[in-house]
Every structure is written in structure tokens, then in C-alpha cells.
Amino acid sequence: MADAPADSDALARQLAEAGADILPRLEELLPRGLDDYLSAAVWHHLDTGGKRIRPALCLLACRHFGGEPARATWFAVAVELLHNMFLVHDDVEDGDTMRRDRETVWVRFGTPNAINVGDYLLAAAYRAVLRSPVDAATTVRLLDEFTETYATTCRGQALDINMRARPDLSIEDYLRMVSLKTGRYLALGMVGGAIIAGSGDVLIERLRALAASMGAAFQIRDDLIDLTAGKGRGGVVGCDIREGKPSILYAHALGAAGADDRRALVEIMGRPREEVTDDDVRRARDVYDRCGSVAFAAAEADRLVGEALRTIDEIPPAAADGAARDFLRGVTAYMVSRTK
């Protein structure tokens, strides 16, 4: 693995190369073609690919913090499996029928099988952590970080599910939700790589703080993408509106809209997904436009990026050298500038 380059195209290539490194391990842990009512569904989902950014960050972070990436490969696999477990269950919870422009697992194989596939992926993720070629004390640290991340993300998802269509959702509510749902989860690969490299608590805490800001900016970008290009949902735009999800756009509009627009927006967001029409989506988007919610979201993402960059600047030189901090700056820019 070469050193992480500064420009985003080169970093994207390096992330892709590092992400591809885990595929042999995935196939070793989850063999294809088994007649067990699991293999077909697991690989139906995993073969959709995705960018595998989180495991790639694990491997690259391990290198940049002075470790050997080969020792982090199994933990990177665990990070990828946890990510995909969340996606399979998230599709069930949200009722999404397409993932990466392919039928979701619950649509192809049924809801009970999709729930079981997600559970199986989680079990496989724990097995992958335990295969890490590290000493017992480091294994315990990795298991603790993995389990705490899993629990924290579930807490964030609980807020996401139960704050949908809330008529009093605030920006603070939204940021609390994404901090739990996205922040620690985004940090997991980098933190795991740093632990395997032998990094101390100072760097680990700075990485978590970095991911809290970067994760929130990442999620805001996700909210904006949903209104424009969609997110691999077969060309469907506005899934967050159809699901009544607590996006930053919705939270901002509730505080900025007039009474009629606010009432209409809450009513649209509160409908069952199958009853939300394309006209409803357009009307909600019109409310966002009139309230300046898109511009507000973009500005808030920029603020959070600045916060993330300040966090990187605060990492002591003893914990991360200049090249490592440049790597983290590049990752921050890459994660929040995506368009799909």
C-alpha cells in the first residue's frame, strides 16, 4: 500500500485498492454457494459491492499510525460486515426496495430471511474480530470498541425510527441522532486500525471526536443527495421524505416555515410510505426551497468540516505525524464532498 495521496482522486483509488484487500477474507469467512438458506442471500447483498470505505480506512489508518495493515485485515472485515448488517436491517426498517440499484434482501428473500441474514452477518463480524492476529489485551480492546460502536449505532437508529415525522424536531435533536448513528460508526475502522498499530488513548479520543464532526457532515451530505441524485434506489429521489425520516432539511424547515407550510410538511412526512406521491415529494421540496433549508444544510456541513479540521490540528505530534494528519484531512475532504 502506498502512502495516502493528497488529492481526492488518488485517495479514492487508494481507498478502492485497500477495500478490495478484504474480499478474499470475506469469501473465506462466508463461503459462496452453500445450501443453507443464508449464503445466497448474503452474497446477493455483498455482491452489490459498495465502496468499502470503512474497512479501507481501517487498513490505511493502521499504516499511517505506524502499524502493519496485514494485521488489521480481519478487523477491517468485521467493520465491513457490521456495516452490511446495518444496511440489511435498515432496508427492512425503512421499507426500501432497492439498495445499490438492486433488490434489497427482504424484497428478494422475504423479511424473516433478511432479519436472519443481518443477524448472521453480525455473528460473522465478531468471528472476524477474534481472528485478528493480535495479543489478548488488544483483542479485548477491539471487542470493546466494536461492541460499543454497535450499541451506540443502535441507539442512534432508535432515535431515527422514533423521531420520524415529529412535528417538533429540532436541529439539536437531529445532530444528537446523527452523532450516535453515524459518528462512532464512521470512526470504528480508523480507531481499530489505530489500536492495532499500538496507538494510545489520546489519539483514539481525537479520532472519535473527528468522526463525530465528520460523520454529521457526511450524514448532512447524505440528506442533500437524497433530494437530488438519489442513493442507489433505482432512480427514486426523496426517499427520506417518503419515509418521514428526521433529516436536517426537515428539522430546519419546521423552525423556518410558516404555519401552513409547516402543517403540510408534517402531514406529508407522517403518511405511510406507500401513500406518499411524487407530488407530495415535490411539495415538501418546495417548502425546503422557500425556507432556505438546502442552503442551511450545506452551510452546516461546512461548519462541521471546519470543526473536524480543527480536531485534526489538535492531535499532538507525538500521537500522529504530519503525514498522518494530512491523511486525515484528505479523508475528511473526501467523505464530505461525495455526490452519490
Per-domain boundaries in the chain: 8-336
For the cut 90, the answer to whether the pLDDT of residue 7 exceeds it is: no
State the average pLDDT for the chain.
Answer: 93
Amino acid at 236: V
Residues 275-306 have pLDDT tens digits of 999 999 999 999 999 999 999 999 999 999 99
Residues 22-31 have pLDDT tens digits of 999 999 999 9
- For residues 290 and 257, the answer to whether their CB atoms sit within 8 Å is yes
Residues 172-222 have pLDDT tens digits of 999 999 999 998 999 999 999 999 999 999 999 999 999 999 999 999 999
Query: What grid cell was written down for 36?
Result: 443453507
- For residues 183 and 211, the answer to whether their CB atoms sit within 8 Å is yes
- For residues 193 and 59, the answer to whether their CB atoms sit within 8 Å is yes
Q: Sign of the CA dihedral 142, 145, 148, 152?
A: negative
What's residue 337's pLDDT? 81
* Cell numbers 443477524: residue: 119
Residues 42-70 have pLDDT tens digits of 999 999 888 899 999 999 999 999 999 99
Residues 214-267 have pLDDT tens digits of 999 999 999 999 987 655 555 678 989 999 999 999 999 999 999 999 999 999
The CATH code belonging to domain 8-336 is 1.10.600.10
Q: State pTM to two decimals.
A: 0.92
- Residue 336: pLDDT band by 50, 70, 90 thresholds? confident
Q: Is 103 helix (H, G, I), strand (E, B) or coil?
A: strand
For the cut 60, the answer to whether the pLDDT of residue 340 exceeds it is: yes
